[in-house]
Amino acid sequence: MQPVTITLNGREVSGHPEMTILELARESGITIPTICNEPHLTSIGSCRLCLVENEQNGALLASCVTPIVPGMVINTESPRVMEHRRMIVKLMLASHPDSCLVCDKGNRCQLHQIASDLGIGLLELQRIPQTAAIEEVNPFIERDMSKCILCAKCVRACQELVVEGALDYFQRGFIARPATLNNSPLENSECTFCGVCVALCPTGSLMEKKRVYQGTTKNLVNTTCPYCGCGCSISLEVKDNYIVAARPGKVDTENEGTLCVKGSYGFDFIHSPDRLKKPLVKVNGAFQETSWEKALEETAEALNLIKEQYGPDSLAVLGAVKCTNEENYLLQKFARTVLGTNNIDNSSRLYNPATRLGLGTSIGFPGTTNCLEALEQSEVIVAIGTDPAASAPRVNYAIKRAVKLRGAKLILIDPRRTKLSSFAHLWLRPKVGTDLVLLNSMSRLIIDESLLDKEFVTRKTDNFDALPGALEKYSLEYAETLTGIKKEEIHSAARLYALADQAAIIYGTGITQHPGGTASVKALFNLALLTGNIWRNGGGIYALQRDNNGQGACDMGALPDFLPGYQSTEDLQAKKKFEEHWGVSLPANPGLTALEIMEQIKAGKIKGLYIVGENPVLSFPRSDFVTEALSSLDFLAVQDLFLTETARLAGVVLPAASFAEKEGTFTNFEGKTGRIRKAVAPAGECLPDWEIILRLANKMERPLPFSTIQQVMEEIEELVPLYEGYLDSEGKYQNEWGFWKRRSHRWHSLKGFPRFSTAEYTPPEKKINEDYPLTLLTEAVLYHFGTGTRSSRAWRLQQFSPRIFIRINEADAKKLGLSPLDKVRIISPVAELTAAVSITGALPEGIASLPASFPEAPATRLFDINLDTETKTPSLKACNVRIERIDDHE
Amino acid sequence: MNDIKTISEDELLARIKEIIVEYSGQKWALIPLVQKIQNEFGYIPPPSIPLIAGSLGFFPSEVQGVISFYAQLYTTPRGRNVVRVCKGTACHVRGGKTILKLVKQHLQIEEDQTTADMEYTLETVACIGVCALAPNIVIGNQVYGNVNPKKLGQLFKRNGG
Ligand code: SF4
Ligand code: SF4
Ligand code: SF4
Ligand code: FES
Ligand code: FES
């Protein structure tokens, strides 16, 4: 296409034909003030502040919505333009309230900034200030609509970015305002308190509530959210060593200026009074504060002693899905070279191995095959075993944007009604545990009806011949009987998926935490492979990761059977490479997985354990068993931010710095690496995990050869092929290292073509136990995270969602005589918990669901240890329970 | 406008669903759809907003936004007679404000409200184009000029108020 040339402030400049005057001006270094324009929102041209003059005909044009036309002569600062601009701002100011003077938005207010840039002093207009009641019941957002200047950024943010649609204009003219349905307070609307509208609002009409620090902060630190596996980039506002607020990172970052409520309002656990400040040692059963010197000495001695007495394999290490890549790398190196054991695992064991095994064996690449931008381009999206609105909000936004703004069709496979159900084109509700049957029957139908991508299958895949036979029994009729989904619906879903040019599959813990999860992952992969949806630009397979750095912990080899970069501990060549580089001989046998470690502690084989940032007492099944095991150890050291349920059992507790108090990188579920940066000094005497590990190695007289985090990254670059090229030519972190590297690496590591693998459904042993008639599903909730250690200490999250509810179906509630808010005992064969009742139409009869993230009632406790034979993942998704009402007098 | 029907909320929603089905998935049809609902019920019952939104593919807040934008669309039931008091300049200088106050007293309602017996809904307008007769009010389709307190009393009596 021919570039278009125009004259801008007397200078000739050229741009693409579709550019607006504003875009070209920005590109040419000319500033035009704007209010309603935002590059990642549709332009509406409503504020008129961006006026420019067309000198050929004297027309005043809103530059943000006017495309460039060859030969245009534009002046952005003509006297007429300036006069109009000033008048527009004056009019806005004239309707602004007096409280403007003491507004907390302070110097961040765009209206202020623009007024002072334009040199507006006296208003010379009669003021007609708006009035409005300030809305502030919820703990997150304060709305003062008297300061609204109708730029509609909040409306567009809510509709176009996070796609909640909580807001739109209500009424018109002078009284028009952005409002929720029925003008109700935010907490009674669709709002999820993502804070995106607050970050975009140019004035003080939308503000974070109760800013701890009043006034203006100048220091912004760009970093990465520490909660879920989406890895959103976030900016922390810092003042006087205090984090005042968080907002979405720059718009050009992956999350496009979006966050969820945890990213925006969940950071203040950093400043929680509960933070550990000094190392603790247990003396006669009680903790005493001590110095780093003493704490590390005691730890080093204890570990060395156990190693000498019982050998290296009597030691084990657990960690660390919340820590950085560098720290995980150090931790596994510590385990393998300092302790001398492969007994290292991390808590992504609880949800990730099915993916590692299922995808790893098929494509040689253990994880998500494409990026979220590509997901948004997909025509059809299958979401199965996941409620991303709660567990991966950014993915949820991407799915909804694809559906709402690009017309993608969503096939939702979930027995529960979730927030995505209303976006679904097809919503299939299989009986719990029958996903595999459904997926296999879809594959069979695709083959039977010749809907497969034959050319791709013949030329680019292996082992197709094994498939048709293995799928023989998965007829639509068979699938209908087992899954409870109508044949016709399965048929439509299979056709829709197969006929799309680019189709994506997203799955989460609903797949991987079920026994047999690996088989379901393989079945999903078969579907993608049959239809050629693997290497395309759109589509692919998206394996969600729960934790911020579950992906990184595994990439870095904090795993018993893999050295860094998924190089098997049994691959002699890989082993040799590491041995040469590290100058030690490495243990030959693979180590124990997380739950096996617990079992071996119980069996007396493992005597000493070092836990970094994990809380197995709450996150593993059978906390009674885990507690007993941990208490029976000769030595337990726990490194954490808080005195967690697990840390209480330790002999030594080492206080660690939070994500905002150190440097490093996280890798999100897509495989993209995000930088974390130090925003404030560590609380008390806390140290970054990496520094603690290094000091401990020194104390054990086996120092690791690093003194800075960069040096660690350099070694990672050298030894972990997935992370090659992470540093730029000057040895500095590249901020946006790419997942493209990872993708291209996959091509190299793949021996042969991606393989079909058969996935046989094994019905659960029919043990219908009348005593436990309900199926309980564990679920993620938006306002809390993981075991709740951090989110329960973020006061806004805690205040908004203070207690645990079990959700049960109306019919079940009726049978049990339960009303909303009743307290109940939830009893499984191994444990019981109490929770309040919430009655819902979202669940099918016979199914209840309980969030996993409330420390006072950890749902994991209800589960027996029941390991998948292949992956050693404990089943943590569904168990059988009964529910009893607790009468008030009890 | 049809007569106001007295039906239960369930019946109302059931009927509204019937109307909506015809327009399912057709975003362009928002205005005709809400007009159709308003023609049948005299207003657009708020519980129908999420249903309309869900069926056409809008956010409920968007549908509410559109409805509230058009002065001719209502989300509250309307009386059998709409009373419009003119607030235009001519009427204003000739006592329109007092007239409005008196009408409010007569009907015991505020602007944009409807009497309990569903007889009257009170609105204001900005000039109805017969300034010569100011102050003016309109009841139903009938314009009354040169109104004064006495005439007002008769008007509402005549109309059964
Ligand atoms: S509330 Fe803020 S963002 Fe929303 S329209 Fe008003 S000024 Fe703009
Ligand atoms: S906080 Fe998020 S969901 Fe709530 S109104 Fe703002 S943009 Fe919408
Ligand atoms: S979506 Fe995940 S990474 Fe993004 S802000 Fe929310 S919790 Fe943080
Ligand atoms: S920035 Fe162009 S009209 Fe608002
Ligand atoms: S001002 Fe009342 S009719 Fe014109």
**Contact present, A84 and A104 (Cβ < 8 Å):** no
A414: left (phi over 0), alpha (psi -120 to 50) or beta: beta
Q: What's the confidence (pLDDT) of residue A194? A: 96
- Rg, Å, chain A Cα set: 29
Contact list in A for residue B58 (CB cut-off 8 A) is 165
Res A870: pLDDT = 83
Domain boundaries, chain B: 4-69, 81-159
Measure Cα distances from A821 to A223, A417, A837, A856, A890 in Å.
40, 21, 5, 17, 16
> Mapping DSSP to helix (H, G, I), strand (E, B) and coil, where does residue A635 land?
strand
Note the pLDDT tens digit of each residue in A857-880: 889 999 998 888 888 888 888 999
Domains of chain A (ranges plus CATH)? 4-94 (3.10.20.740), 129-271 (3.30.70.20), 280-347+549-732 (3.40.50.740), 353-543 (3.40.228.10), 774-885 (2.40.40.20)
| Contact yes or no for A328/A348 (Cβ under 8 A) | no
Mean pLDDT of A265-278: 95
CA atoms in the 13 A half-sphere facing the CB of A238: 19
A835 closest CA partner among A855, A815, A809? A855
- CA–CA distances in Å: residue A557 to residues A27, A587, A871: 44, 14, 16
Contact predicate B107/B59, CB 8 Å: no
Q: How far is CA A273 from CA A179, A226, A679, B27, in A?
A: 37, 19, 18, 52
CATH number for the segment(s) B81-159: 3.40.30.10
C-alpha distances in angstroms, A142 versus A107, A134, A152, A185, A772?
18, 7, 17, 10, 46
Question: For residue A165, what is the nearest residue in chain B, using CA coordinates?
Answer: B59
Question: Omega before A178 cis (within 30°)?
Answer: no
Quote the CA–CA distance of A852 and A871 in Å, as a whole number.
Answer: 22
Contact assessment for residue A232 and residue A249, using Cβ atoms and an 8 Å cutoff:
yes
Q: What residue type is A636 in one-letter code? A: L
Q: Which of A145, A210, A138 is nearest to A183 (CA)?
A: A145
pLDDT, residue A751, reads 66
Provide mean pLDDT across the span A250-254: 65
- B residues 43-62 lying closer than 8 A (beta carbon) to A: 46, 49-50, 54, 57-62
CA distance A302 to A318: 17
pLDDT given at position A256: 76
User: Mean pLDDT throughout A743-769?
Assistant: 72
Q: What is the pLDDT of residues A185-201, one digit of tens each?
A: 999 999 999 999 999 99
Rg (CA), chain B: 18
A678 pLDDT above the threshold of 50: yes
**Mean pLDDT to the nearest integer, A81-103:** 83
Query: Residue B115 phi/psi, 5° resolution?
Result: -65, 155
Query: Over the stretch A126-172, which tens digit does the pLDDT of each residue have?
Result: 767 776 777 778 999 999 888 899 999 999 999 999 999 999 988 87
Greater pLDDT, B88 or A134: B88
pLDDT band of A745, cuts 50, 70, 90: low
- C-alpha–C-alpha distance, residues A737 and A813, integer Å: 51
Highest CATH level, class, for B4-69: mainly alpha
Ligand in nearest proximity to the CA of A263: 3
**Rounded mean pLDDT of chain A?**
90
Residue to mutate among A170, A181, A401, A419, with most B CBs inside 10 A, is A181
Which pLDDT band, with edges at 50, 70 and 90, does A749 fall under? low
Confidence of residue A105 (pLDDT cuts 50, 70, 90): confident
Could you tell me the pLDDT band of residue A80, with boundaries at 50, 70 and 90?
very high
ipTM attached to this prediction: 0.81
pLDDT digit string, tens, across residues A350-380: 988 888 888 877 777 778 888 888 899 999 9
Q: pLDDT value at position A249?
A: 86
Q: Is the pLDDT of residue A407 over 70?
A: yes
B76 touches chain A (CB under 8 A): no
Identify the CA nearest to A671 among candidates A728, A741, A731, A727.
A741
Please answer whether residues A676 and A659 qualify as being in contact, where contact means their C-beta atoms are separated by less than 8 angstroms.
Answer: yes
Give the tens place of pLDDT for each residue, B52-79: 999 998 999 999 999 999 888 988 888 8
Tell me the pLDDT tens digit for each residue of A586-645. 998 999 999 999 999 999 999 999 999 999 999 999 989 999 999 999 999 999 999 999
In this prediction, residue B1 carries a pLDDT of 43
> Is residue A353 a contact partner of residue A594, using CB atoms and an 8 Å limit?
no
Q: Is the CB of A157 under 6 A from ligand 2?
A: yes
Taking residues A389-399, report their average pLDDT: 96
Asked which of A107-116, A705-714, A754-763, B107-116 is least confident by mean pLDDT, the reply is A107-116
Alpha helical stretches, state H, A790-882: 795-800, 810-816
Rounded Cα distance between A470 and A474, Å, is 9
The shortest CB-CB distance from A168 to any of B46, B57, B59 is to: B59
**CA-A51 nearest atom, ligand 4:** 2
d(CA A299, CA A612): 13
Neighboring chain A residues of B69 at a CB cutoff of 8 Å: 169, 171-172
List A851's β-bridge partners, or say none: A779
In the predicted model, is pLDDT for residue A279 greater than 60?
A: yes
